[in-house]
Chains A and B, each alone.
Chain A
Amino acid sequence: YVLLSHLHFSVRLSPGLLGLLSQARLHSIAAEKKNYLQEEPTSSHRRNASQFDWALMRLDNSVRRTGRIPKTLLQKVFDNTCHSGSPGGNQALLLLRSCGSLLPELKLSERTEFAHKIWDELQKLGTVYDVSHYNALLKVYLQNDHKFSPTDFLARMEKGNIQPNRVTYQRLIAAYCNMGDIEGASTILGFMKTKDLPVTEAVFSALVTGHARSGDMENAENILTVMKEAGIEPGPDTYLALLNAYAEKGDIDHVKQTLEKVEKSDLYLMDRDLLQIILSFSKAGYPQYVPEILEKITYERRYIPDTMNLILLLVTEKLEDTALQILLACPISRESSQNDFGSFFLRHCVTMNTPAEKLKDYCKKLKEAQLHTSPLQFTLQCALVAQKLDLAKVLMKALKEEGFPIRTHYFWPLLVGHQKEKNVQGIVEVLKGMHEIGVTPDQETYVNYVFPCFDSIKSVRAVLQENGCPHDDNVFSQAELRSKAVNGNLDYILSFLVDLAGVNFYCVCSNLLLLLQCTHFLSYQITELLYKDGRYCQEPPGPTEAVGYFLYNLIDSMSDSEVQAKEERLRQYFHQLKEMNVKIPENIYRGIRNLLDSYHVPELIKDVNILVEREKTDSRKPSSSDLESKLEKLKAENQPIGDILKQLIVMLCSEENMQKALELKAKYESDMVVGGYAALINLCCRHDNAEDALNLKREFDRLDSSAVLDTGKYVRLVKVLGKHGKLQDAINILKEMKEKDVPVKDATVLSFFHILNGAALRGETETVKQLHEAIVTLGLAKPSTALSSPLVTLYLEKDDLPAALESTIDCYEKYKILPRIHDVLCKLIEKGETELIQKAMDFVSQEQGEMTMLYDLFFAFLQTGNYKEAKKIIETPGIRARPTRLQWFCDRCIANNQVETLEKLVELTQKLFECDRDQLYYSLLKLYKVNDDWQKADAVWNKMQEENIIPREKTLRLLAEILRNNNQEVPFDVPELWYEEEKDCPTSLPSPVEVNLQQGLLNACHRRRNKGKHAFNIFLTAKKQNIVFDNETYARLINLLLMKDNSTQAMQVKDFAETHIKGFTLNDAANSLLIITQVRRDYLKDALTTLKTALDLDQIPSRLAVTRLIQACALKGDTESIHDIQKLVNGLEDSIGLSRMVFINNIALAQIKNNNIDVAIESIENMLTSENQTVDPQYFGLAYLFRKVIEGQLEPALKKISIMAERLANQFAVYKPVTDLFLQLVDSGKVNDARALLQRCGAIAEQMPILLVFCIRNCQRPGKAPVMKSLLELIPELIDKEEAYTCLMKSYVFDNDVTSAKALYESLTAKNVKLNDLFLKRYAVLLKNAGESVPFTEPPESFEFYAKQLKESKETHL
């Protein structure tokens, strides 16, 4: 059989959600269409456009900041462009243009090579080149001094059917000129003339260079005259060409003369031009003239990038001395040592293999010039990044000479490189280098960087010995231990502990912690061994200290939620330790106590306390009995005892001896001081003793009303008082916190949350509401999503979904947050509450936008296993990836180990626009790793190839790790990483040791995986083995199966339970669920039986279940069953919350379905006209019946009903039915029928309360504007009612009906109606969104503000 998902059912039953979906899609389609009009109608185009934007932004930013593009960046952009499919022309242009002087760090030849690579690659990818691309390539050639044949180039263009343009010819002329080929240039110039192309300054500048390079300086100078004759005034470019020409000849005199000439003219050379001259001098071998030009440079800020660019270029050209000269001349502010200058130079020198000695010298000079504070350190860093061991050694030695410490981790980057390549020899070289410098490798060096290169640690030892690498055996062994611990190798650790004494126990402890973190269980074995084996504890502190330290670190290493989750486990562990006679010193106990306090589990403190070694408490401190006798002595001598009493009480408190402390207090009450009370209050709170805590607090106040407790103690008081139902007292404490200005920290807010959440889980509605209200209104904490979530949790736990949703919405209206909206939605979907879903979605859509709504719905469908529906949502046109939301859901799936859900997410988002597929697959792999499922991981590898995803390195590494852990071959090359710290490793690793079937089943129920299939399978397994679980377990399983619509399986479980557990029955909730499921599957008889069974058991079935059953019977025309149900629930209506109208409507409907129209009408009429009415006519709502009749197009029935309604109105003055009918007609679009009815029965227009309720209900949903408009047309008087016109405007705004809204506004203003701000605000926003002007001043505040204002003003009027 096919299992229908809940939504299918919902859709079938009520078109609401489906309508909602299609509406959402329509919205998006409309948006999409709008885009189409603006852009070309291909999505690939848009993708390219965004790709281009990204690339442009990256390259542009780089040029703007540094005057250059690093090669890696260009490569990255190039790679990205290639992977994006078919790169567009503009992308190609962008890339080509970047291959010239913007790459100063590359040799000229390499730049051109790069350009060619890009050219060929993109062409292969289908990029179509036009003249702009050829021109860009020419420019690159020119900038890179690339030698090429211009005629060949032209031929190539011709072959590509590209017409050269003016720019092409200009550049070709420049190319000839650069080679000194005047003849060639002339040929091209001839071309230009025949084509009648204008000759510009650029051509003349080129000719200057051309003549100069051909050795004819005279004619080069002459060009300027020729230009003038041709009517073109030589500009800076021409002069620069001339200047460069002289510089190349080393003719400083002519350079100076020409510069003077320019200065005298009104021309102006920029720094950038002067830098060109410097370059020409340097490249031609005349660095001696550089300073003279440098003097003329103004160093404008905006030219700093150009200067840097030149410096880099000079280094590339091996002219690093000149580069340094320019660098040192830069007038960088030397005062602020914050920003080192020259790093780029040093880094590039390292890249270009500048000799080490030279670099050392440069560093010295930079430091002397106060340009750079730590040039040696920086250069060393560059050398390490570039893995240059020899250079690094020289620099380290230099640093050492300066007295700077050389630390172990300096060598790690060097080791990393070799480790990736598994280059043993390289590793050995580095280790030798370390020795040479005088640094010994530490544990981390071995564990993280050396061991991973070897197959086994044994072989490391051998290789090191072989190569004469000295190593400290002790450090080495510790490293070995550590690496085993990281691997979770318990046996090894145990044997190590047993075999190998003499290792520092702190080291052992830290390793054990690692081990425990990895394996996630508390090993008594290890703790005991640590404690009992004398060898670890020979040192003076002894075993107590070792274990204490160990426990402290264990708890410290756990997160607070972990400790909270494992509270019971830890408690057992502590008691086990106690039984083993393990003791810990008091000071460490105090540390642990503080930790537990900060984790919000003070309840565990008393459990640790039992381990404290009492006898050995610090002998300097007196014991409690000492203090007590001292106290008695003082008392006897009539001396003041306040101080000693406080001391004693504090001590008893720390010993958790509540009884004794309280006795003492009672005995010496008059001598109590505030401090003693504070400690006592805290103690009582810890022992959950609300009564005494409260009394003590009162005494404390009496003693000194201005005294203030610590924040933590106040919070604990609130918790204990709240828990014991002393709500007002708890609120008073909160008030006192506010009054006394007690500091509220984040931890305090967290504590508030725990208090509220605890109460919510216990179902204490008032406690949650009132405490939350008090905390928020007092301003102790902001109403955050987290803090407010218990308000919703409260109802979710009770399965009261309408209230849960209401509460969430209420939170939004009050605080602009939507706590637990996901959980609420999931439950609504599980229960098929279409109307509430619609309500929730309308709300989210309106308040947070359609996209948010779609994601909310998508996640909820996924979570509840309604994958088809989820698919529909995520395929909504126009939806795009929201990475943070997707990640949120992924993390959630990983944390809850929901494999199927996450798999579906990844599957369904395959085509999602802008979706980071690799990231999603990475998440999926993370989850597979948790479950150690290498087969699925391997399948991911294939899927990614299928989808053409380029996996990021981390993804590959993770995949390799999973495969390797399962002894599988890794089918790809992966940068080796032996162990990666997974800080975010989920805490929910299964502990296979303790899993028994029942627990497994409950867990499976909890996780709700595979529609309960997993849980059901466990049930089957147990059944085979004749294992019987307890009542609760079966109930949970049945509930789950029912919720997942597996009623057959549910019945199977039920039968088994009934036959194996005496008196096993389903509870209320399960029976209600069963009824709903049976109704859904159309097993009405069975559903009726279930209802009977439940009622026989004195259970109260849910309203929903009974209503569903009644409605289903009505649609079948089964009057009899409805009567039966009525009898069955007789007397229980109020408990169930069932209105009598449900029966009246449905019985009538059933009769009508059976063609007993007259009977139905007669009985309704009787009810409304008889003496003893059971329902007040005002509440006699027949809208449901009318709607069903109209929807079902039951014309004869409708006619008769209409007659009845009119008769009731005209003869009996009962107007409710006729008004309801009228409204249903309007609502169904039968406006003419409605109008006719109104004409026959004018009193309808006077039924204002009924009409207004209709308006208010309808304006909550979108798509009702036409209905509202029709209603207004039919009953124009409605406009006089504020509620009505408010609703009308709301509806028009909802549906963007500007025309109707305008008409409404105009008719209202024509009547001089005073409109409230909320109304105006709403109208103004509508107009603005439609791009129209607002004919009045828009109220400046927010909607919420005016809504609140309006509400308040109404309240005061009341």
Chain B
Amino acid sequence: MSTRGAVVLRTNIGRPVAFVRKIPWTAASSELREHFAQFGHVRKCTVPFDKETGFHKGMGWIHFSSEEELHNALQQENHIIDGVKLHVQPQKPKALQGDQTSDEEKDF
């Protein structure tokens, strides 16, 4: 019973993931990984291919290891791969409310 309620809320939220659209067909996950590596450590990068067509659907997900890295990536206005501008947004469209530095780092 307890998990039933939880299912409602099951998402990847809270994890630093960028959702990328409009990926040119010429690029796949390694190209994306290469591009986004400049913003931080890319833990995972998926660009699912449609096995019916052999093409991907122009969408992908970049899993960073921290919110800050994701933030860096989102900060950049233009993301261009193979001459094509990508659409990059956080996994969930809700606004990020500024980043918090860990309180354990603070000495005051």
B85 / chain A contacts, CB cutoff of 8 Å: 338
Q: Which A residues touch B1, using CB under 8 A?
A: 761, 797
Cross-interface CB contact of A564 among B3, B28, B44, B83, cutoff 8 Å? B3
Residue of B nearest to A337 (CB): B83
Contact A407 B26, beta carbon cutoff 8 Å = yes
Among A678, A758, A895, the residue within 8 A (CB) of B7 is A895
Check if B52 is an interface residue, CB within 8 A of chain A: yes
Given contacts A642-B107, A750-B13, contact A743 B100 (CB under 8 A): yes
Nearest to A742 among chain B residues (CB) is B100
Complex Cα distance, B24 from A797, in Å, reads 51
- Assess A410 versus B97: contact at CB under 8 Å? Given A416-B54, A747-B13: no
Least distance between A186 CB and chain B CB atoms (Å): 56
Which A767-801 residues sit within 8 Å CB-CB of chain B?
Answer: 785-786, 789-790, 793, 797
Q: Among A407, A643, A750, A979, point to the contact of B14 (Cβ < 8 A).
A: A750
> Looking at the complex, which one of A410, A564, A977 makes contact with B6 (CB distance below 8 Å)?
A564
> Cβ of B2: which chain A residues have Cβ within 8 Å of it?
757-758, 761
CA distance A979 to B49 in the complex (A): 12
Knowing A564-B3, A761-B1, say if A743 contacts B54 (CB, 8 Å).
no
- Return chain A residues, CB-CB under 8 Å to B55: 381, 384-385, 412-413
User: Who on chain A is nearest to B25 by CB?
Assistant: A381
In this complex, what residue of B is CB-closest to A980? Answer: B51
Is residue A30 contacting chain B, with contact meaning CB distance below 8 A? no
Q: Are B3 and A675 in contact (CB under 8 A)?
A: no
Q: Which of A404, A413, A449 has the most CB of B within 10 A?
A: A413
Cβ of B27: which chain A residues have Cβ within 8 Å of it? 407
Bits for A580-623, please: 1 = Cβ < 8 Å to B, else 0. 00000000000100000010000000000000000000000000
Q: Give the CA-CA distance A743 to B12 in the complex, in Å.
A: 18
Residue of B nearest to A414 (CB): B54
Q: Which residue of B lies closest to A413 (CB)?
A: B54
Question: CB within 8 A of B103: which of A338, A598, A674?
Answer: A674
Q: Would B108 and A707 count as touching, CB distance under 8 A? A: yes
CB distance from B108 to the nearest CB of A (A): 5
Q: Quick check: B103 and A673 within 8 Å, CB to CB?
A: no
Find out whether the CB atom of B14 lies under 8 angstroms from the CB atom of A746. Answer: yes
Is A1070 engaged at the interface, CB distance under 8 Å to the other chain? no
Contacts of A797 in B (CB 8 A): 1
State whether the Cβ of A710 lies closer than 8 Å to any Cβ in chain B. Answer: yes
Q: Does A708 contact B (CB under 8 A)?
A: yes
Query: Given contacts A374-B83, A409-B49, A753-B5, is CB(A449)–CB(B105) below 8 Å?
Result: no
- Distance in angstroms from B68 CB to nearest chain A CB is 13
Residues 931-977 of A contacting B (Cβ, < 8 Å): 953, 975, 977
Of B15, B103, B106, chain A has the most CB atoms within 10 Å of the CB of: B103
Q: Mark A535-577, 1 if CB is under 8 A from B, else 0.
A: 0000000000000000000001001110011000000000000
> CB of B92 within 8 A of chain A?
yes
CB-CB nearest in chain A for B30: A407
**Any chain A CB within 8 A of the CB of B104?**
yes
Q: Which of B77-108 contact A (CB under 8 A)?
A: 82-85, 92, 94, 96-98, 100, 102-108
Partner of A674, one of B31, B49, B106: B106
> When A and B form their complex, what is the total count of cross-chain residue pairs whose Cβ atoms lie within 8 Å?
139
Q: Tell whether, in the assembled complex, residue A559 and residue B5 are in contact, meaning their CB atoms are under 8 Å apart.
A: no
Given the interface contacts A415-B54, A744-B97, does A753 sit within 8 Å of B104 by beta carbon?
no
Task: List the B side residues contacting A62 at CB < 8 Å.
Answer: none
A1085 to B3 Cα, complex, angstroms: 42
- Name A364-397 residues within 8 Å CB distance of B: 373-374, 377, 381, 384-385
Docked complex Cα distance between A953 and B53 (Å): 13
A679 in the interface, Cβ–Cβ < 8 Å? yes
Tell me how many residues of B have a C-beta within 8 Å of chain A: 48
Q: How far is the CA of A384 from the CA of B25 in the complex (A)?
A: 11
In the bound complex, residues from chain A placing their C-beta under 8 Å from that of B7 are 561, 895
Whether B100 lies near A789 (C-beta < 8 A) is no
Specify the main secondary structure of chain A where it touches its partner: helix
Segment 330-382 of A: residues with Cβ below 8 Å from B = 338, 373-374, 377, 381
> Given the complex, which residues of B lie within 8 Å of A80, measured CB to CB?
none
Q: Nearest chain-A residue to B105 (Cβ)? A: A675
Interface residues of A in 679-711 (CB under 8 A from B): 679, 704, 707-711
Q: How far is the CB of A550 from chain B (nearest CB, A)?
A: 15
> Any chain B CB within 8 A of the CB of A238?
no
What are the interface flags for B28-65 relative to A under an 8 Å C-beta threshold, 1 for contact and 0 otherwise?
Answer: 10010000000000011000110111111000000001
Q: Are B82 and A789 in contact (CB under 8 A)?
A: no
Contact yes or no, A409 B9, CB < 8 A: no
Please give, as numbers and ranges, the residues of chain A lying within 8 Å of B14 by CB-CB distance.
Answer: 598, 745-747, 750
Question: Once the chains are docked, how many angstroms separate the CA of A653 from the CA of B5?
Answer: 32
Question: How far, in whole Å, are A385 and B105 apart by their CA atoms in the complex?
Answer: 54
Task: Determine if B82 and A449 form an interchain contact, defined as CB atoms under 8 angstroms apart.
Answer: no
With a CB–CB cut-off of 8 A, which chain B residues contact A679? Answer: 104
Specify which of A598, A785, A953 lies most central, judged by the most chain B CB atoms within 10 Å of its CB: A598
Task: State the CA gap A790–B1 with chains docked (Å).
Answer: 12
CB pair A746–B53 under 8 Å, yes or no, is: no
Please, which residue of chain B has its CB at the minimum distance from the CB of A417? Answer: B54
**B103 neighbours in A (Cβ, 8 Å):** 674-675, 678, 707-710, 713
Checking B13, B84, B100 against A746 with a beta-carbon cut-off of 8 angstroms, the contacting residue is B13
Complex CA–CA separation, A113 to B54 (angstroms): 32
Cβ contacts under 8 Å, B65 to chain A: 591
**Residue pair A789, B49 in contact (C-beta under 8 Å):** no
Answer yes or no: A253 CB below 8 A from chain B CBs.
no
Cα–Cα distance between A895 and B12 once the two chains are bound (Å): 19
Please give, as numbers and ranges, the residues of chain B lying within 8 Å of A448 by CB-CB distance: 49, 51
Question: B82 to A377, Cβ gap below 8 A?
Answer: yes
Please give, as numbers and ranges, the residues of chain B lying within 8 Å of A983 by CB-CB distance: 48
CB of A650 closer than 8 Å to a CB of B? yes
Complex-state Cα separation, A410 to B55, whole angstroms: 8
A560 and B10 within 8 A (CB): yes
Give which listed residue, B8, B53, B97, B102, contacts A413 with CB less than 8 A.
Answer: B53
Which of A561, A598, A646 is B10 in contact with, Cβ under 8 Å?
A: A561
**A981 interfacial by beta-carbon distance below 8 Å:** yes
Q: Mark A663-682, 1 if CB is under 8 A from B, else 0.
A: 00000000001110011000
Closest-by-CB residue of A relative to B31 is: A407
* Complex Cα gap A758–B53 (Å): 46
Contacts of A560 in B (CB 8 A): 10, 12
B4 to chain A, nearest CB (A): 8
Return chain A residues, CB-CB under 8 Å to B9: 750, 753, 786
> Whole-angstrom distance from the CB of A625 to the nearest CB of chain B?
21
The residue in chain B whose Cβ has the minimal distance to the Cβ of A411 is B54
Tell me, in angstroms, the Cα distance from A381 to B107 when the chains sit together.
Answer: 57
Q: State whether A754 touches B6 (Cβ < 8 A).
A: yes
Distance, CA A895 to CA B3, complexed state (A): 12
Q: How distant is the Cα of A1286 from the Cα of B13 in the complex, in angstroms?
A: 47
Report the bound CA distance from A757 to B56 in whole Å: 40
Q: Which residue of B lies closest to A597 (CB)?
A: B14
Whether B52 contacts A757 by the Cβ 8 Å rule is no
CA gap between A1182 and B2 in the complex, in Å: 44
Cα distance, A565 to B104, chains bound together (Å): 31
Which residues from A are CB-within-8-Å of B6? Answer: 561, 564, 753-754, 757
A-B contact sample (18 more), CB < 8 A, given A642-B107, A674-B107: A381-B25, A384-B55, A385-B53, A407-B31, A448-B49, A448-B51, A449-B51, A643-B107, A650-B104, A678-B104, A743-B98, A746-B11, A750-B13, A750-B14, A753-B5, A761-B1, A979-B51, A981-B48
Q: Which residues of B contact A (CB under 8 A)?
A: 1-3, 5-15, 24-28, 31, 43-44, 48-49, 51-56, 65, 82-85, 92, 94, 96-98, 100, 102-108
Name the 3 nearest CB pairs between A and B, nearest first. A747-B14, A413-B54, A412-B54
29 cross-chain CB contacts under 8 A: A374-B24, A374-B84, A377-B24, A377-B25, A377-B26, A404-B26, A407-B28, A448-B51, A561-B3, A561-B6, A646-B107, A674-B103, A674-B107, A675-B103, A675-B105, A679-B104, A704-B108, A707-B106, A707-B108, A709-B103, A710-B102, A745-B14, A745-B97, A747-B13, A786-B8, A797-B1, A895-B7, A979-B51, A981-B51
